[in-house]
Amino acid sequence: AGASRYMVEPNVKEGKGGLRDLNTLFWIAQYLHPVDEPRELMRLKDFNRREVKAFLRAFDFLWAVRAHMHFITGRAEERLTFDLQPEVARRMGYGDETGDAVVVERFMRRYFLIAREVGVLTRTFCAKLEADHAKRPQGLSRLFPRRSPPRRELEPGFHESDGRLCVEGPETFERDPVNLLRIFRVADVHDLDLHPDAFAAVNRSLHLIGAKLRRDPDAARAFLDVLAFGTETLRTLTLMNESGVLGRYLPEFGRIVGQMQFNMYHAYTTDEHTLRAVGYIADIAGGRLGEDHPLAVSILPLIADREALFLAMLLHDTGKGGAPGGQELAGARNARLACERLGLSSERVEFAAWLVQHHLVMSDYAQKRDLGDPRTIAAFARIVQDPDRLRCLAVLTAADIRAVGPGVWNGWKGQLLRQLYTSTEAVFRGGRPSDLAFEAVDDIQQILAEAARTRLENAAENGGAARSWAQSMEDAYFVAFAAKAQLEHLSLVQRAVQEGAAASARLMADWNAVEISVAAPDRRGLFADLTAAMASLGANVVGARVFTSASGGALDIFHVQDRSGAPFGEADPRSLDRLLAALETAGCGQSPADEPRRLDLGRASAFSVAPAVAVDNEASDMATVVEVSGRDRPGLLQAVSRTLADAGLSVQSAHIESFGERAVDAFYVTDAEGRKLTEPYAIAALKQELKAVLLAVEPEVEKARARIGARALV
């Protein structure tokens, strides 16, 4: 059912923080104090009225949710899936004119706050039941004198007993509210969990956290020690969050506690995602994720301001929720407020705010732009401006992506980030990015290409053929590939001359993908035909580059995964052989007719996905960048590629990414003469045609929603 109570599609019955937890507590209480109804717990002196009211509130809410799920589906459905959430929210009175997404997010935030309250109740009730049971020894133990568990004094007001951290009593916090932060530092330093009584005492003392404590230097020091230098950072911050201290001490973070984003990309609530991201940075700092994040592990010790890095990660999503100025600017404002209260200097405050404002930039450039284009690197370097910013962004981006959910991080994304980092770092070593003019980039690229051509001609067995091909290929090709790959491509091109088209594949384990190279005569629609062949066999294209020689040959390079995110053909090598054969057939212009495929949107039909098409002539000096964003579905890349081909455009590179139900694809394109698309009428027409492609699936979405609605009426 999931180890976290903050899964965005929770199991209401068996999930952590769900009905099973409450039922178990009640059954244990029944054993010790036989009662018939949960409300009768109110009469027991062991439980105060506040705790019993919280129990009953959670019990009623979760049972109502579960009952509505059963009525809607007509079966014992226990998982609150995306397609059920809008209807359950409406039935429970959360519906209004603001729209499904806002309604669902309000309802689900209530659900997650209830689930957190169940966690507090679990700790509190278990402590009371455990203490009560200990007072009544059973069997032979009744004949022996009872001994108190050993006690070890730690700091004033805190001691260890039976392997857990205890407090002297609520007066510990009333005497000095800073102890509400110190208790977590003590727990982290001594690797202790909080005793349930201590946890309950913390939860009941939240009213002591006010403006004065938030600006107290001792409180800030205790908090930053846990955040940036803790030994079990994630566990300790989770304790702070579930006790309510973290959100009360940092109101900016408190506003995202229990917040859900109604999409299929994020697996957790915003606060849970954030804490996991902070935990991953702590793991990287401890050298525990070297295999998955070798770059981050190597550069994190070089980061000068570790506290600013961790604060930026903790605050990076606090701008979500429709704040003025958008997520990035709102998050930067929140970071300034929080860091100033914590006593950071103005320079450090601005550094943390800059990281929050730009925390998506590196991901966007790595996944949506052509990293083989020196202008991409130059533009990114101009934004970053500083090597320490670059190092922090690399660590933040890796942790942010990994914390989205299981399986989101993979070798492909890691390699893209490493490539962008390495290229940008080289710019900084060579001078300030503002000094890197595009003319200089062209000169450098030409020099590197000429040297590569010479090496290829000397290494090839057929020097004449190699020379002819090398001189006809564009400079960008020789900058993008190493000498060994160039020799393999030359052999592939020579085979294509004899057979009409040729395809080859090589596993790129570091990229978590298979690199497929296709050589064929260039023609209009070639790229679309190749993507159609791959789509028909279930291959998922995550990146592509297209190179055209002056003699009319095309060399298309694809990075391909299967539908599970593994390198295509890794589990079934024969499927890779079939794919290569299909690509060679398509390269010869004998592509089979598109076969209609059954479209099963499933849970994705619950979401409204607004289509968007952007045309950018500034991102590249040689091509127009067309970015297409809309509802993801099988065959979308094929349909978009066909539309670009029908518009007379040639694809130079493609960068494919999906974020749950939304696909975001970027294409570098040129017209028939190899120039940018600049004519306003042509741009407007292309946008209209691409939006029609994106909207083509919406009738199926409405049918799927109608089926859910019909079930709800039964």
Q: How far apart are CA 586 and CA 535, in angstroms?
A: 12
- For 55-68, the pLDDT digits (tens) are 889 999 999 999 99
Structure tokens at 24: 């178990």
H or E segment to which residue 61 belongs: helix 49-73
SS3 label, residue 656: strand
Q: Is 569 left (phi over 0), alpha (psi -120 to 50) or beta?
A: left
- Taking CA atoms, 460 is separated from 303, 455, 506, 549, 555, in Å, by 45, 9, 20, 18, 18
Give me the amino acid identity at 580: L
- Annotate 143-206 with three-state secondary structure: HCCCCCCCEEEEECCEEEECCEEEECCCHHHHHCCCHHHHHHHHHHHCCCEECHHHHHHHHHCH
The residue ranges of the chain whose pLDDT is under 50 are: 98, 432-441, 596, 714
Q: How far apart are CA 404 and CA 97, in angstroms?
A: 30
Q: For tokens 């301001």, what's the residue?
A: 305
Q: What are the backbone angles phi and psi of residue 661, rounded to the nearest 5°?
A: -80, -10
Q: How far apart are CA 534 and CA 634, in angstroms?
A: 11
pTM: 0.84
Q: How far apart are CA 19 and CA 14, in angstroms?
A: 7
Q: What is the pLDDT of residue 435?
A: 44
Q: How far apart are CA 120 and CA 124, in angstroms?
A: 6
Measuring CA to CA, which residue among 637, 445, 662, 471 is closest to residue 558?
Answer: 637
Q: Could you give the angle at which helices 100-134 and 233-243 cross, rounded to 10 degrees?
A: 100
Under 8 Å between Cβ of 282 and 362: no
* Planar angle of CA 54, 59, 62, nearest 5 degrees: 120
CB-count exposure of residue 145 (10 Å: 0-12, 13-18, 19+): exposed
Q: How far apart are CA 662 and CA 456, in angstroms?
A: 42
Under 8 Å between Cβ of 185 and 177: no
Structure tokens at 543: 């990146």
CA 501 to chain centre: 39
Structure tokens at 47: 């439980």
* Level-2 CATH architecture, domain 596-714: 2-Layer Sandwich (3.30)
CB-count exposure of residue 81 (10 Å: 0-12, 13-18, 19+): middle
Q: How far apart are CA 179 and CA 190, in angstroms?
A: 16
Specify the long-range contacts of residues 83-91, CB closer than 8 Å, at least 24 apart.
83/602, 83/603, 83/605, 83/606, 83/708, 84/708, 85/262, 85/606, 86/606, 87/708, 87/709, 87/712
Q: What is the pLDDT of residue 266?
A: 85
Q: How far apart are CA 408 and CA 398, in angstroms?
A: 11
* Level-2 CATH architecture, domain 469-593: 2-Layer Sandwich (3.30)
Structure tokens at 213: 């404590």
Measuring CA to CA, which residue among 188, 164, 160, 183 is closest to residue 173?
Answer: 183
Q: What is the dihedral of CA 492, 495, 500, 505, to 10 degrees?
A: -40
**Which DSSP string do the residues of 594-647 spell out, in sequence order?**
PPP-----GGGGGS----EEEEESSS-SSSEEEEEEEE--TTHHHHHHHHHHHT
